Structure 1
Amino acid sequence: MKQWLRVLGLGLLVSGTSACSTIGGLEASDGGITLEVANKPYAEVWKSSVNAMSTNLAIVEINKSAGVIKSEAPAGLATWGEVVGLFITPPGKVSDSYKIHIVSKKRSKLQITGQDWAPSVAARIQADLGAEL
């Protein structure tokens, strides 16, 4: 019986650690919300994105020339926290329009509670720039 409990415990530990989302694991190809911003300079799109990603979130990685901002929400009493990525295309180039893709993931797939930050980040950018979904 003890052997079986050890195997079960080890299996839960392995599945729990392999089901984690990290800042480095966020990709633009992940699901999420995409906004389109037209007739705005990249500097304005970038500034609005930084402001939106730093409201109630902590920026962990930022690269203006690549158009990438990654933030995290801290763990709380009922959540292990979340990771959020924002990807602007085309990054840093003069363009008539830009696409902003926002991805939000829970830290663990086993996590029941938590917040999807993509809608609130998108709403801040929409209010600031008049972006469209």
Structure 2
Amino acid sequence: MASHNTDANCIFCKIIKGDIPSFKLIETDAVYSFLDIGPLSKGHALVIPKYHAPKLHDVPDEHLGEILATLKKIAVAQGVENYNILQNNGKIAHQVVDHVHFHMIPKPSDTDKEGLVIGWPAQQANMDELKKYWEEVKGKL
């Protein structure tokens, strides 16, 4: 059984509790999923742990597998071939609600009119700096 943590002021905790209505898709002991009321495309859904945590690294591991399985179930049920899974951590990373949430955003067409529209400002890595950072992080894993 998954552990629970709630925040009485959190809009997502209120949705999980039923204080705010939602178009619920899936609910399990650890996960709650519903349609986004500000969708980027038809079928845009949110999947959230029932454990209130501001950022992904705050979520107990026991919730994470069920979140991913729920995202897959929604994509299969919707029959979408192209979609984005998006999860932001922190305000400058575009997180609006301080409760971990994953967006499953269908991309129905090759236009910028619906679905996720992003830039990808890739840069060429300095291989010496990349190796140094790799060694640092790998040593902490």
Structure number with greater CO (CA < 8 Å, separation at least 6) is: 1
Does TM, normalized by the shorter one, top 0.5? no
TM-score interval, normalised by the smaller of the two chains: 0.3 to 0.5
State the TM-score, normalized to the length of structure 1. Answer: 0.34
State the TM-score, normalized to the length of structure 2. Answer: 0.32
Q: Which has the higher strand share?
A: 1
